Structure 1
Amino acid sequence: MKPPAAPHPLLTDLREMTPARVALGRTGASLPTGALLGFTLDHARARDAVHAAFDATALIAELGALGLSAHPVTSRAADRQTYLRRPDLGRRLDQASVEALAGLRGTADGRLAIVIGDGLSPRAVHAHAVELVRHLGPRLAAESIAMTDVLVASGARVALGDEIAVCLGAKMVVMLIGERPGLSAPDSLGAYLTFAPRAGLTDADRNCVSNIHRAGLSYDEAAFKIAWLVREAFARGMTGVALKDESGDRMPCAVAANPT
C-alpha cells in the first residue's frame, strides 16, 4: 500500500499554531491510527474531568493558606448524576446553605462576592482556581475592593452565584467555575462576572473570561482582565453585552508576555 502523503508545509505550520485537529491525514477512508488513538485518549480525559471528584475541604484549606476565609455551600443537586441531568437544581442553593449564608450577611465587604464552583470540570477548579485567586487578590486590592470571604460551591452552575450574592447582599459576583471540557482542554477554568445579580438573569447579563489553563489564558492575564471588568462594572453599573472588554488596550506588556 502506498504510504500516506506528507502534509503540505502550510498545514504543518497551522498544526504548530493550534491544538485543534487539523491536517490529521487519512489511511484509506479512515483516520491514521495515531490520530484515532489521540482522539480517543482526549475524549476519555474530557469524560473523566466531568466525573472527577470535587474536594471542597481541600480547596478551603488552600484558600485559608492565602489568608482567605472560605465557606462551603451546596446546590440542590444532591449528587453528580443529578447535577448532570438536572441543570436547574445546580442553579439553586439548598436550604442549609441559604441559612448559613444568612449568618454571613453583613460580615464581609458587601460589594463583591467571590464564588468558586465545581461546574463541569472539577479538575479545572483544583488545578487553577487557587492560583488565579492568588493573582487576583492584589489587583482587586489596588482598586480598593476587598476579597476577604470566598464561597466554595459544590454542584454549581454559573447562575448559582447570583443566589449566593443575593443572600450575602453583594452588589456583584465573580464565579470561578470549571468549564465544559473540550478535547484539547479538559481542565479549563472560566470566570463569570455579574453586576446586580438576581434570579432569572441570563448569560447576556454577564461577562466571561474563559480558557484559563496552562495552554490558554495565563493567571496574571486573566486576573488583569477580571479586575478591569470588576472596576468598570462598579463604575458603570452594568455587566454583560453592555460592558465590552476593552482591557486588552490597557494591558501592561509584562502581563501580556507572562506565560504562566
Structure 2
Amino acid sequence: MNDKPQLPAELDAPSGVAELWAALRPLTAARIGLPRTGASLATPALLDFRLAHARARDAVGAALDASALQAGLSRLGQPALVCRSAAADRRTYLMRPDLGRQLDADALALLQASGSRGGLAVVLADGLSAQATQRHALPVLEALLPLLQAQGWLLGPVVVLHHGRVAAGDGVARSLQAEAVLVLIGERPGLSSPDSLGAYLTWAPGAATSDADRNCVSNIRPQGLAPQAAAAKIAWLLNQMRVQQRSGVALKDQMNQPVQVPAG
C-alpha cells in the first residue's frame, strides 16, 4: 500500500509544483519552496538568505539613538530620562545578560532624584534590536498615550535605556515607586523580522518578579501587529492589571470577551 500523498494531476509536474509554491509564498514571510539548482539553493535565494542574516546581525549590534527618541518624546509632550544598564557596552550586554537586567548607579540616582512617584513607568530599551525601538516605539506611544490618559494613568518621565533587558524595567518601576511598568524593547531579530518590537507589562514589579509575572505583546512592526492595534491591546491589559491587581499568567488576554473579575 502506497501511503505517499499524491498531488493533484495538474500539479504532478515541476511546473505545477512551482505554481503551487508561487501561490503560497505571498501568504507567509517564511522561506518556503525555495528554488534549487541540483542539491544547492539557487543563487537569488541564497543571496537573499545571506542578506537577511546580515541584517539580523547588524540589528543585534546597532546602537540606540537616544537623542532622536528624546526629541520624538518631546513632540508627544513627554519628558524623558536617558539611563544605562549595568552593562557598560554592547559586547558586555551580549555576554552578560544579568548586567542588562540591572541599572547602573547613575541611573538609579537619576531616577530617584526625578521626583516622579506612582502610576505607570514606561521604558524604551534597545534590547536585541535597537532599530525596532527606534522605528516603532514612538508610533506605539503616540497611539497609546490618549488611551492611557482616558484611563487616568499617571505617567512620569519616559526612561530611554541603553543596553537594557526586560527585567531592567522592574528596577525603573521600583525607583519611581510605580504601580506598573511597560517596557517597549527590541526583540531578538529573525531572518524575516530584524525590527520587531515587543511590549512587556508587569504589575507591582519587585525583586522576586519573574517572566511568568509579565504579559507580552509581540511582533509590533508594519508586517506584524500595527502600532494602533498594539496600543489598544496594551491599554486593555494595563487597565485589567489595575482592576485585577495582577499580571502575567494570572491575567488572561480576553480583550474581545467579557472579563469576570474573581471576588477577593
TM-score by length of 2: 0.89
**1:192-203 counterparts in 2 under 5 A?**
192-203=200-211
Identical counterparts, % of pairs:
52
What is the match of residue 21 of structure 2?
A: 11
Q: Give the structure 2 partner of residue 34 of structure 1.
A: 44
Aligned to 2:251: 243
For residues 4-153 of structure 1, the aligned pairs below 5 Å read 5=15, 7-105=17-115, 107-108=116-117, 110-153=118-161
Q: Deviations over 1:96-127 (max 9, x none)?
A: 1111111124x35x121011001000011111
Q: Quick one: distance in 2 between partners of 1:38 and 1:246? A: 39
Query: What is the CA distance between 1:60 and its match in structure 2?
Result: 1.0
The corresponding residue for 1:256 is: none
**1:56 counterpart letter in structure 2:** A
Q: Which deviations, in whole Å up to 9, do the C-alpha atoms of 1:138-173 show, x marking residues without a partner?
A: 111111113342111111000000011001100100
Structure number, greater radius of gyration: 2
- Match of 1:104, SS? coil
Q: Verify the 8 A CA contact 2:119 2:156 in the aligned structure 1.
A: no
Q: Matches of 2:126 and 2:208 in 1, distance apart?
A: 21
Conserved? CA contact 2:133–2:185, under 8 Å? yes
**Matches of 1:113 and 1:221, distance apart in 2:** 21
* Counterpart-to-counterpart distance in 2, 1:248 and 1:122: 32
CA deviations over 1:161-208 (Å, ceiling 9, x no partner): 001100110010000000001110101100000001012422211000
Q: Say which SS state the counterpart of residue 247 (structure 1) adopts.
A: coil
Which residue type is aligned with residue 129 of structure 2?
S
Cα distance, 1:28 vs structure 2: 1.0
Question: Whole-Å Cα distance in 2 between the matches of residues 54 and 48 of structure 1?
Answer: 12
Contiguous gaps of at least 5 residues in structure 2: 1-13, 259-264
Matched to 1:40, the amino acid is R
Equivalent residues, number? 246
What is the TM-score of this pair, normalised by structure 1?
0.90
